[in-house]
Amino acid sequence: MRKIKSLFILAALSLAACSNNSINIDTHSEIVELSEKELNSIAGEKDQNITPENFKKLILYSKISNYDNLKNAHVETDVHLKKILGDVYWAGSSSEAAANDSDYIYEEKVIINLKNTSEQEIKKALKNAYITVVWDEGQHTDRFDNNFQ
């Protein structure tokens, strides 16, 4: 009986290890120049000196692979930049699920005011970033801590 119990525990641990190892999450971030259209859209909202030197776009890329719950899921990048950085404008996000439903590529774009934000503050915010995968119409979520640097 003890041997069967040990084998059951070993099998359960092996199964858990296999399922955790199959999930692969790649993330990175990039700061890029704003387009003329993006600069104009901000200028219409705020009475500030809107220039390419003052405002940049922070793009967060996530790719999740080999994750069983992706078939009916959507992915959110929860960075809470607004709380940490102050003047943040969400420029939108896009996602793309691969044909075989095993890969999910997600891109979040945030416009930041560099006059009020240092590079250290951005790095600090990105260290606290995590990805949330929501599936079954919001009934279930998984959180994956990731570093977007």
- Write the pLDDT tens digit of every residue in 28-79: 888 888 888 877 777 665 555 677 777 788 887 877 777 776 666 666 655 5
How remote is the C-alpha of 13 from its chain's centroid? Answer: 29
Measure the CA–CA gap between 137 and 51, rounded to whole angstroms.
Answer: 41
pLDDT digits (tens, 9 = 90+) for 80-106: 555 555 566 655 555 555 545 567 777
Number of domains in the chain: 1
Q: At 111, which CATH number?
A: 2.60.40
* Residue 61: domain span: 24-145
Could you give the C-alpha distances from 143 to 2, 73, 111, 112, 129, in angstroms and in order?
A: 36, 13, 24, 25, 10
- pTM here is 0.60
Q: Does residue 47 sit within a domain? A: yes
Longest dimension (CA), the chain: 76
Q: Is residue 8 part of a domain?
A: no
**pLDDT of the residue at 23:** 75
Other CB atoms within a 10 A radius of the CB of residue 64 amount to 25
Which residues make beta-bridge pairs with 64? 25, 104
Give me the chain's average pLDDT, please: 66
Q: Is residue 9, in this structure, part of any structural domain at all? A: no
In the predicted structure, residue 6 carries a pLDDT above the cut 80: no
The whole-number pLDDT of residue 3 equals: 43
Residue 5 inside a domain? The answer is: no
**Does residue 94 belong to any structural domain of this protein?**
yes
- Residue matched to tokens 């943040």: 88
